[in-house]
């Protein structure tokens, strides 16, 4: 078996250690900032990294897409925040994720949209602020102009189009507070 095939099929612990080495040797020099102990493992796409800031102890897993459009951002990710496989965070307007957040696999967070007349053009949709200790479930979507309060939970596959109060749980399309009228 070739070395490249072995690396591609490596156990998760091997990929983690390789990611830690690449984060230390390459990403730390390119990003706006990366805190101590943060590891990025085999991302799908990195764009505008000079405007991306990751706190201490973050985990960014395979297939992640972290992007700041030209002139856009910044994208700020707090300490000890976990980005699962295939997470896509896209910033034209500023995007801020707090400390101790968990973004499950396949989550999309984006502060931009395509123009209705010229689909090749993008425009900002408003800043996104996600507080501390927020859990965003698998394949959920958070759109621009939204603030999610500390300790909130976003259910799997929910589409968040408006603010979520601290401590609330939201589900559905569009996301609504569970057991509430919001």
Does this model's pTM top 0.75? yes
Return the closest-CA partner of residue 153 out of 178, 173, 174, 129.
178
Angstrom CA distances, 60 to 35, 70, 81, 84, 142, stand at 13, 22, 8, 6, 18
Residue 182 is predicted with a pLDDT of: 45
Q: What is the mean pLDDT of residues 122-147?
A: 96
* Domains in the chain, number: 1
DSSP state for residue 120 in the 8-state scheme: T
DSSP state for residue 99 in the 8-state scheme: T
Is 90 noted as a catalytic residue in this protein?
Answer: no
Give the residue numbers spanning the domain of 138: 3-177
User: How many CB atoms are located within 10 Å of the residue 51 CB?
Assistant: 20
Question: Can you tell me the distance from the alpha carbon of 145 to that of 50, in angstroms, rounded to the nearest whole number?
Answer: 23
Question: Residue 21 falls within a domain, yes or no?
Answer: yes
Question: Residue 109 falls within a domain, yes or no?
Answer: yes
pLDDT digits (tens, 9 = 90+) for 24-61: 888 999 999 999 999 999 999 999 999 999 999 999 99
Q: Does residue 5 surpass a pLDDT of 80? A: no
* Residue 180's pLDDT band (cuts 50, 70, 90): low
DSSP state for residue 26 in the 8-state scheme: I
- Buried b / exposed e over 58-95, threshold 16 CB at 10 Å, is bbbbbbbbbbbbeebbebbbbbbbbbbbbbbbbbbbbb
Token pair for residue 58? 């973050």
Of the candidates 17, 88, 90, 114, the residue annotated as catalytic is 114
Residue 7 is predicted with a pLDDT of: 66
Lowest mean pLDDT among 3-17, 35-49, 106-120: 3-17
Question: Residue 27 falls within a domain, yes or no?
Answer: yes
Q: Write down the mean pLDDT value for the chain.
A: 92
Question: Residue 144 falls within a domain, yes or no?
Answer: yes
Query: Which CATH number goes with the domain that contains 131?
Result: 2.160.10.10
* Residue 161's pLDDT band (cuts 50, 70, 90): very high
Question: Residue 154 falls within a domain, yes or no?
Answer: yes
Angstrom CA distances, 33 to 24, 28, 58, 173, stand at 12, 7, 12, 35
Question: Can you tell me the distance from the alpha carbon of 154 to that of 108, in angstroms, rounded to the nearest whole number?
Answer: 12
Comparing 175 with 180, which gets the higher pLDDT? 175
Q: What is the mean pLDDT of residues 155-165?
A: 98
Question: Residue 34 falls within a domain, yes or no?
Answer: yes
Comparing 102 with 119, which gets the higher pLDDT? 102
Question: Residue 182 falls within a domain, yes or no?
Answer: no
Comparing 11 with 18, which gets the higher pLDDT? 18
């Amino acid at each position: 078996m070739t070395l490249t095939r072995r690396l591609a099929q490596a156990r998760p612990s091997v990929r983690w250690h390789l990611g830690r080495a690449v984060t230390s040797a390459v990403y730390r020099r390119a990003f706006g900032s990366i805190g101590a102990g943060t590891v990025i493992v085999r991302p799908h796409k990195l764009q505008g990294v000079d405007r991306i800031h990751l706190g201490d102890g973050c985990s960014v897993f395979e297939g992640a897409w972290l992007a700041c459009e030209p002139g856009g951002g910044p994208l700020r990710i707090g300490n000890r925040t976990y980005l699962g496989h295939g997470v896509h965070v896209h910033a034209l307007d500023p995007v801020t994720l707090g400390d101790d957040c968990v973004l499950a696999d396949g989550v999309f967070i984006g502060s931009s949209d395509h123009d209705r007349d010229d689909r090749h053009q993008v425009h900002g949709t408003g800043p996104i602020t996600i507080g501390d200790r927020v859990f965003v479930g698998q394949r959920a979507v958070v759109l621009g102009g939204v603030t999610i309060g500390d300790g909130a939970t976003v259910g799997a596959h929910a589409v968040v189009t408006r603010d979520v109060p601290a401590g609330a749980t939201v589900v559905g399309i569009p996301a609504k507070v569970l057991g509430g009228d919001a």
